[in-house]
């Protein structure tokens, strides 16, 4: 088995709202897959369909070679889920919830549980509502990470964690990858996705707009170049793929479509280059390119966010 | 900004959220008393009928449920006797639920925190809840007065009854306001407030039925409604008692409020165990953790209620033979020969409805868990929907059986002890109460069906139960048609121990419950969660 999750043409409507509109998603076994999209794009709905909580209207969904709607009990033994909004039973302590969820999944590694409690600095004796949002998330994370499962479905698991805990989380996910577990990580924290994910899918309005490795996606966007040239930058502005050119004597600053980079660099080299810095596109730019085009006309926002 | 800033906005928010619930309360509680006026003239047209009714009404066993009858020769006096106590209980429930929904529940969900960050005075939330609940109480009283006076009852009497019920609503508004400060969870606060209503109902039941303990009625705000004697030489000064008490209770609630943090109660939460007990490894074990507190509380309450009603049963033995009217009266209420047996039969119906309240509450716990996002993480484990629902429904099914056994045991024991015949009476009374179980299961199944098919409308379960309750309690006395009586499953239960035991209706009810439960499971397996 090389594919842990395979979704194609998934449609889910709630009344008149079309939450998922032909979504595609492929997660390979053993990878950490970033699942990105603006609020309301359909990330949580997709995860709920994968968990068999929602029934898909149409489309094919395969999870660990099974059907998430029909093979619930068999599949759920092999996965763990951390919801975006973690609720706990008011009368149960955090430790009790961790044990209960672990046992219901089919086993908890006691040593790993103790280790995780320590690393996340979580007090397991407090009860339900006395935990803060971040600590409730830690309860769900410890329960999921200490479970003996193949697949982790994490829905914005770190939205309430502080930066120190965020670092602990990243360590833990890297350990999971080393153990060969598959992770679907829905997140808004781009640094986290950049640090952790092998591949990324970006969705919007219930549809997948980009999918691939980060380097593949970077080809789809622009690199910022600042260079000091030996002579006047003749004809640079006319080259295909060059945008927002600013020239000051011999110094030029511009953006170039990543797939035209080679031709542009050759043109620069012909003029002669004294110094050159290039900045690869950040995930943030990728993200904004797909999210924000209703906010600003295409092209302008890229310049606005370049660092 | 003072401590009340934003109250007006919160009142409007509360009215918007309750735009269906509150009008239903106002219309039902407001119009019920006036609806008897016409029925009274039909049921008891002659002076002779009315005189015999008066004899029956003064029977202590009847007084347990309905309160003391002061003047049953007029439609007004009859109305005040027949409804006064129940209106007090129901307006108490209205006030409890309304106050809690806008105070403690808002804190539970964290919504109040969101609002408190806005321009909102410290006391605004509690003030708004008290205003809405108090306002609704007064409005209900006003509708009652207008409707009763409008249907030809004496204006003075109508005013006394309406004002008494409204004042009772104000008292329970205060009780709920205090409970909302003391307890951390709305579930606990609601439970305690309802327990207070139950205790005060029992207190006046004892006072009204035992000549030696009449003072007990004076300790109960529910008793004050009848003690102000509407339509029977009104004593308006009695109504000062609830007004003063309500003022005091609300003042205490406002004193308690600043002593605690938003989201916390006065009782601090204790730490729990760091690891789960070995047994907490199944959805049933979790359901037991969630249901055991309410179930134990209910069981104890049912034992006590049964004990009180059983102890009073002997009082009616004196009347046997002396009053044909009493017997007729009980037959109207659904009993048969043998005054005590009829009394126990009538109690059985009330016990069944009470167990029905628990059954609905236990069933709807499923919806509460789902809405609180507590179901999702469980269904993401190997737990299937069917197993999860079954573990909760086990309590909706076995819980009422336990409660009916407890209340039957309590009634049979105290009654048996009084007449030195425990050995016979306990099984007889137990049989009468347990016979209610199939009807209770139908109620639980209907609530489960709503949960399985129309999860957003599970609240309708309470409306269904209320309809059954009205039919069972007031249907016979209002002489509604058999077809209407048949709507309630509780009408089909044989009135044991007086009536002959027939298994047929019980088997039918059980069969219906099984089919409806199956429909509930089928629906729940198919629908979306959330």
Residues A208 and A245 in one domain: no
Residues A195 and A85 in one domain: yes
B280 to A72: CB separation less than 8 angstroms, yes or no = no
DSSP per-residue letters across B372-385: TT-HHHHHTTT--H
Structural domain boundaries, residue A99: 3-216
pLDDT at A298: 44
Residue that finishes a domain, picked among A189, A216, A243: A216
Q: Report the distance separating Cα A68 and Cα A61, nearest Å.
A: 7
Give Cβ neighbours of residue B67 (< 8 Å, ≥ 6 apart).
B81, B84, B85, B204, B208, B223, B225, B226
Span B315-319, average pLDDT: 57
Span B354-369, average pLDDT: 94
Residues A188 and A236 in one domain: no
Percentage of residues of chain B with pLDDT beyond 70: 93
Residues A165 and A31 in one domain: yes
pLDDT at A300: 40
Residues A186 and A257 in one domain: no
Q: How confident is the model at residue B468 (pLDDT cuts 50, 70, 90)?
A: very high
How confident is the model over B172-206, as pLDDT tens digits?
Answer: 999 999 999 988 888 888 888 988 998 899 889 88
A83 to B273: CB separation less than 8 angstroms, yes or no = no
In B, residues 276-315, which contact A (CB 8 Å cutoff)?
276-277, 280-283, 285-286, 289-290, 293
| Dihedral, CA of residue B475, residue B477, residue B482 and residue B483, to nearest 10 | -30
Q: Within chain A, what is the greatest distance between any pair of CA atoms?
A: 75
CB contact at 8 A, A140 and B416:
no
Of B272, B374, B381, the CB nearest to A96: B272
pLDDT at B328: 65
Q: How confident is the model at residue B113 (pLDDT cuts 50, 70, 90)?
A: confident
B289 to A91: CB separation less than 8 angstroms, yes or no = yes
Give Cβ neighbours of residue B30 (< 8 Å, ≥ 6 apart).
B139, B140, B142, B143, B144, B147
Residue B343: CB atoms within 10 Å: 29
Span B434-446, average pLDDT: 97
Question: Looking at the predicted structure, is the pLDDT value of residue B337 above 50?
Answer: no
User: Chain A residue with minimal CA distance to B279?
Assistant: A100
B281 to A100: CB separation less than 8 angstroms, yes or no = yes
Q: Report the distance separating Cα B118 and Cα A76, nearest Å.
A: 42
CATH number of the domain bearing residue A277: 3.30.70.100
Q: Residue A9: name the closest of A29, A31, A24, A19 by CA.
A: A24
Q: Report the distance separating Cα B34 and Cα B79, nearest Å.
A: 8
Query: Token match 């006026």: residue?
Result: B37
Question: Looking at the predicted structure, is the pLDDT value of residue A6 above 80?
Answer: yes
CA distance B283 to chain A (A): 8
Mean pLDDT, chain A, integer: 86
Q: Which of A21-35, B311-325, B443-457 has the lowest mean pLDDT?
A: B311-325
| Dihedral, CA of residue A68, residue A153, residue B392 and residue B362, to nearest 10 | -120
Question: Looking at the predicted structure, is the pLDDT value of residue A292 above 70?
Answer: no
Select the residue from A79, A87, A98, A104 to test the B interface by mutation, using most B Cβ atoms within 10 A.
A104
Question: Looking at the predicted structure, is the pLDDT value of residue B65 above 80?
Answer: no
A114 touches chain B (CB under 8 A): no
Span B145-157, average pLDDT: 92
Residue that finishes a domain, picked among A216, A242, A259: A216
User: Chain B residue with minimal CA distance to A107?
Assistant: B281
Residue A13, SS3 per DSSP: strand
CB contact at 8 A, B76 and B152:
no
Question: Looking at the predicted structure, is the pLDDT value of residue B210 above 70?
Answer: yes
Of A53, A95, A127, the CB nearest to B376: A53
Select the residue from A50, A99, A113, A184 to test the B interface by mutation, using most B Cβ atoms within 10 A.
A99
DSSP category for residue A203: E
Residues A165 and A28 in one domain: yes
Question: Looking at the predicted structure, is the pLDDT value of residue A122 above 80?
Answer: yes
In B, residues 99-128, which contact A (CB 8 Å cutoff)?
108
Residues A210 and A257 in one domain: no
CB contact at 8 A, B18 and B98:
yes
Is the bond leading into A193 cis (omega within 30 degrees of zero)? Answer: no
Q: How confident is the model at residue B325 (pLDDT cuts 50, 70, 90)?
A: low
pLDDT at B53: 74
CATH number of the domain bearing residue A203: 3.40.50.300
Residues A143 and A207 in one domain: yes
Residues A128 and A210 in one domain: yes
Which ipTM score applies to this complex?
A: 0.80
pLDDT at B331: 59
Residue B527: CB atoms within 10 Å: 16
pLDDT at A250: 84
B272 to A129: CB separation less than 8 angstroms, yes or no = no
Span A283-293, average pLDDT: 69
Report the domain count for chain A. Answer: 2
What value does the CA radius of gyration of chain B take, rounded to a whole number of Å? 23
B382 touches chain A (CB under 8 A): yes
Residues A229 and A182 in one domain: no
C-alpha torsion sign, points A288, A290, A293, A298 = positive
B338 Rama sector, left if φ>0, alpha if ψ -120 to 50, beta otherwise: left
- HEC string for B314-338: HHHHHHCCCCHHHHHHHHHCCCCCC
What value does the CA radius of gyration of chain A take, rounded to a whole number of Å? 23
Question: Looking at the predicted structure, is the pLDDT value of residue A297 above 80?
Answer: no
Question: Looking at the predicted structure, is the pLDDT value of residue A170 above 90?
Answer: yes
B270 to A127: CB separation less than 8 angstroms, yes or no = yes
Number of cross-chain residue pairs from A and B with Cβ atoms under 8 Å apart: 122
Q: Report the distance separating Cα A307 and Cα A259, nearest Å.
A: 20
Tell how many helices (H) and how many strands (E) occur in chain B.
Answer: 23, 0
Percentage of residues of chain B with pLDDT beyond 90: 52
pLDDT at A216: 78
Question: Looking at the predicted structure, is the pLDDT value of residue B475 above 90?
Answer: no
Residues A229 and A105 in one domain: no
Mean pLDDT, chain B, integer: 87
Question: Looking at the predicted structure, is the pLDDT value of residue B444 above 90?
Answer: yes
A50 touches chain B (CB under 8 A): no
In B, residues 243-272, which contact A (CB 8 Å cutoff)?
263, 269-272
B273 to A77: CB separation less than 8 angstroms, yes or no = no
Helical spans, DSSP H, in B435-459 = 437-453
Residues A91 and A145 in one domain: yes
Q: Report the distance separating Cα A266 and Cα A260, nearest Å.
A: 10
Residue that finishes a domain, picked among A216, A237, A261: A216
Question: Looking at the predicted structure, is the pLDDT value of residue A15 above 60?
Answer: yes
């Amino acid at each position: 088995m090389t594919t842990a999750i395979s979704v194609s043409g998934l449609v889910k409507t709630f009344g008149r709202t079309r939450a998922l509109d032909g979504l595609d998603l492929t997660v390979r076994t053993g990878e950490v897959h970033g699942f990105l999209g603006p609020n309301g794009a359909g990330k949580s709905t997709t995860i709920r369909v994968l968990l068999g909580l929602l029934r898909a209207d149409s489309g094919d969904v395969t999870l660990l070679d099974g059907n998430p709607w029909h093979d619930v009990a068999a599949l759920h033994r092999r996965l763990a889920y951390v919801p975006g909004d973690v609720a706990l039973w008011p009368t149960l302590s955090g430790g009790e919830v961790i044990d209960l969820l672990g046992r219901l999944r089919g086993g908890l590694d006691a040593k790993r549980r103790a280790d995780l409690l320590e690393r996340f600095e979580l007090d397991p004796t407090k009860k339900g509502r006395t935990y803060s949002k971040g600590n409730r998330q830690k309860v769900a994370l410890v329960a999921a990470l200490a479970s003996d499962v193949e697949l982790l479905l994490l829905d914005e698991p770190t939205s309430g964690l502080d930066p120190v805990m965020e670092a602990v989380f990243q360590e833990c996910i890297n350990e999971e990858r080393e153990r060969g577990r598959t992770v679907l990580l829905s997140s808004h924290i781009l640094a986290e996705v950049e640090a952790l994910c092998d591949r990324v899918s970006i969705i919007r309005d219930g549809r997948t707009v980009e999918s691939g490795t980060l380097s593949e996606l970077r080809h789809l966007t622009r690199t910022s170049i600042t260079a000091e040239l030996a002579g006047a930058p003749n004809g640079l502005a006319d080259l295909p793929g060059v945008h927002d050119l600013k020239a000051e004597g011999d110094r030029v600053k511009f953006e170039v479509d990543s797939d035209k980079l080679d031709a542009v660099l050759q043109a620069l080299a012909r003029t002669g280059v004294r110094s050159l810095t290039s900045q690869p596109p950040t995930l943030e730019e990728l993200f904004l390119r797909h999210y924000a085009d209703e906010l600003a006309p295409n092209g302008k926002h890229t310049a606005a966010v370049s660092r | 900004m003072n401590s009340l800033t934003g109250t007006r906005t919160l009142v409007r928010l509360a009215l918007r959220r309750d735009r269906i619930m509150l009008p239903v309360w106002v219309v039902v509680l407001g119009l019920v008393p006036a609806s008897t006026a016409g029925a009274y003239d039909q049921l008891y047209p002659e002076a002779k009928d009315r005189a015999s009714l008066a004899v029956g009404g003064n029977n202590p066993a009847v007084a347990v449920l309905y309160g003391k009858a002061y003047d049953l020769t007029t439609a007004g006096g009859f109305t005040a006797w027949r409804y006064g106590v129940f209106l007090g209980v129901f307006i108490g429930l209205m006030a409890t639920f309304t106050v809690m929904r806008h105070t403690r529940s808002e804190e539970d969900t964290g919504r109040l925190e969101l609002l408190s960050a806005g321009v909102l005075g410290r006391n605004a939330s509690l003030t708004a809840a008290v205003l809405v609940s108090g306002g609704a109480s007064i409005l209900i009283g006003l509708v009652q007065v207008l409707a009763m006076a409008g249907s030809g009852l004496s204006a003075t009497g109508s005013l006394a009854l309406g004002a008494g019920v409204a004042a009772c609503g104000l008292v329970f508004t205060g009780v709920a306001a205090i409970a909302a400060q003391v307890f951390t969870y709305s579930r606990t606060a609601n439970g305690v407030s309802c327990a207070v209503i139950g205790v005060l109902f029992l207190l006046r039941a004892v006072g009204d039925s035992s000549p030696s303990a009449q003072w007990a009625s004076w300790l109960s705000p529910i008793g004050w409604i009848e003690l102000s004697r509407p339509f029977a030489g009104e004593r308006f000064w009695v109504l000062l008692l609830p007004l003063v008490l309500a003022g005091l209770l609300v003042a205490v609630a406002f004193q308690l409020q600043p002593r605690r943090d938003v989201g916390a109660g006065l009782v601090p939460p204790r730490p729990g165990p760091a690891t789960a007990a070995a047994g907490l490894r199944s959805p049933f074990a979790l359901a037991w953790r969630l249901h055991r507190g309410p179930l134990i509380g209910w069981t104890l309450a049912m034992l006590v209620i049964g004990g009180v009603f059983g102890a009073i049963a002997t009082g009616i033995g004196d009347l046997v033979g002396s009053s044909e009217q009493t017997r007729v009266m009980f037959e109207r209420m659904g009993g048969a020969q043998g005054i005590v047996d009829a009394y126990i039969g009538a109690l059985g119906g009330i016990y069944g409805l009470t167990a029905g309240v628990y059954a609905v509450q236990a069933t709807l716990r499923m919806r509460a868990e789902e809405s609180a996002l507590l179901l999702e993480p469980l269904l993401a484990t190997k737990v299937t929907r069917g197993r999860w629902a079954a573990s909760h429904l086990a309590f909706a099914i076995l819980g009422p059986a336990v409660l009916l056994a407890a209340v039957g045991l309590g009634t049979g024991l105290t009654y048996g002890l009084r007449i030195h015949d425990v050995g016979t009476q306990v099984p007889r009374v137990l049989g009468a109460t347990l016979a209610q179980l199939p009807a209770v299961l139908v109620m639980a199944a209907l609530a489960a069906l709503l949960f399985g098919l129309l999860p957003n409308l599970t609240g309708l379960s309470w409306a269904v139960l209320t309809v059954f309750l009205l039919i069972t309690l007031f249907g016979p006395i209002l002489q509604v048609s058999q077809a209407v009586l048949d709507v309630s499953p509780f009408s089909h239960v044989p009135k044991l121990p007086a009536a002959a035991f027939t298994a047929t209706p019980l088997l039918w009810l059980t069969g219906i419950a099984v089919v409806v439960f199956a429909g509930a499971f089928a629906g729940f397996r198919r629908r979306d969660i959330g």
